[in-house]
Structure 1
Amino acid sequence: MTTERPVADAYSVTAERPVGIDELLERVRADLDRVEARAAHDAARAGDALLVDIRYAALRERDGLIPGALVVERNELEWRLDPQGSHRAPEATSHDLRVVVVCNEGYASSLAAVSLRQLGLHRATDLVGGFQAWRTAGLPVDTAGP
């Protein structure tokens, strides 16, 4: 007997007992192998992970970019990362792709990673603490304007 819960169950909510966002985050994170900033940096440098920055433009302009990260606004994420999609990014090569989703502080990215898993990207996860943790860890940030 397996104790593994299907990804879709993480979002399951019944009319009898609605859940709040804190419980929903706890549920979805239980199924993610979330990564710390240094590990995400090392995996991206080794070619074992694609960092995907879903922060909105104002935050990217204010704080800078992670060099080499694919920028995809949250509302386009599934369309751009679905390896079978007609609007996929060139980097969306396979369902085996390890995607590390980066938001500003590591909350929205957890929900986004589960959405990618529902598309079959079974190695999708997110960055603990988001971009702010990356910057705090002293990892590279490109602050040069376009």
Structure 2
Amino acid sequence: MVTVNLPLGVDELLDRERAHLHRLTPDQAARAVEDEGALLVDIRYGALRDRDGVIPGAVIVERNELEWRLDPHSAHRIPQATRHDLPVVVVCNEGYASSLAARSLQALGLRRATDLVGGFQGWAAAGLPVTPPVPGRPSVPHPSIAAIGDRPDSQ
């Protein structure tokens, strides 16, 4: 008998990867920040941040740089990425891409990485703090990122 492995669809992939996450609701994520010093990492692209605002205290890391910026062994890491047991909550717009991103961080050894159910939109709908966008002033990645040297995507 021949076994044929058919490719997964994105919904099946998402379900499979989420089975390995302890996803947090907005209220749980806010408590994790407060009680455990969890790091909120906003991976939304600039147009969404500029349209909807940002979560106060969240570190903005573009999705294409996430693994380089959060890996404690990377020369391109952000200052907060100092250990593999750091609780990290990845935030995308609605809570889909963040699940896959959190699993990628887990593959790097960040065992406490997870994501936010409902993403930024869920956070805002829960009435949690949001800094509104400033017209004419685009949001940018965390200021410490600019000082880290060559960007990984520029090579």
Q: TM-score band (shorter)?
A: 0.7 to 0.9
Structure 2, gaps ≥5 residues long: 138-155
Runs of 4+ in 1 over 4 A off after TM superposition: none
The aligned counterpart of 2:140 is none
TM-superposed CA distance for 1:17, in Å, is 1.2
The aligned counterpart of 2:80 is 91
Structure 1 CA distance for aligned equivalents of residues 4 and 94 of structure 2: 30
**Correspondent of 2:127 among 131, 138, 141:** 138
Contact 2:36 2:87 in 1 (8 A): no
Following superposition of structure 1 onto structure 2, how do residues 47-126 of structure 1 map, counting pairs within 5 Å? 47-126=36-115
**Correspondent of 2:14 among 14, 25, 45:** 25
Q: 1:16 to 1:47 in 2, by over 3 A?
A: closer
One-letter amino acid of the counterpart of residue 108, structure 1? A
One-letter amino acid of the counterpart of residue 11, structure 2? D
**Correspondent of 1:36 among 25, 49, 72:** 25
Contact 2:53 2:131 in 1 (8 A): yes
Indicate the RMSD between aligned Cα atoms, in angstroms.
1.3
Give TM-score scaled by structure 1 length: 0.88
TM-superposed CA distance for 1:112, in Å, is 0.1
Q: 1:99 to 1:15 in 2, by over 3 A?
A: farther
TM-superposed CA distance for 1:84, in Å, is 0.5
Structure 2 CA distance for aligned equivalents of residues 73 and 138 of structure 1: 25
Percent same amino acid among aligned pairs?
66
Structure 2 CA distance for aligned equivalents of residues 16 and 144 of structure 1: 46
TM-superposed CA distance for 1:144, in Å, is 4.6
TM-superposed CA distance for 1:91, in Å, is 0.7
Mark the structure with the bigger radius of gyration.
2
Give TM-score scaled by structure 2 length: 0.83
> For this pair of structures, how many residues does the alignment match?
133
One-letter amino acid of the counterpart of residue 52, structure 1? V
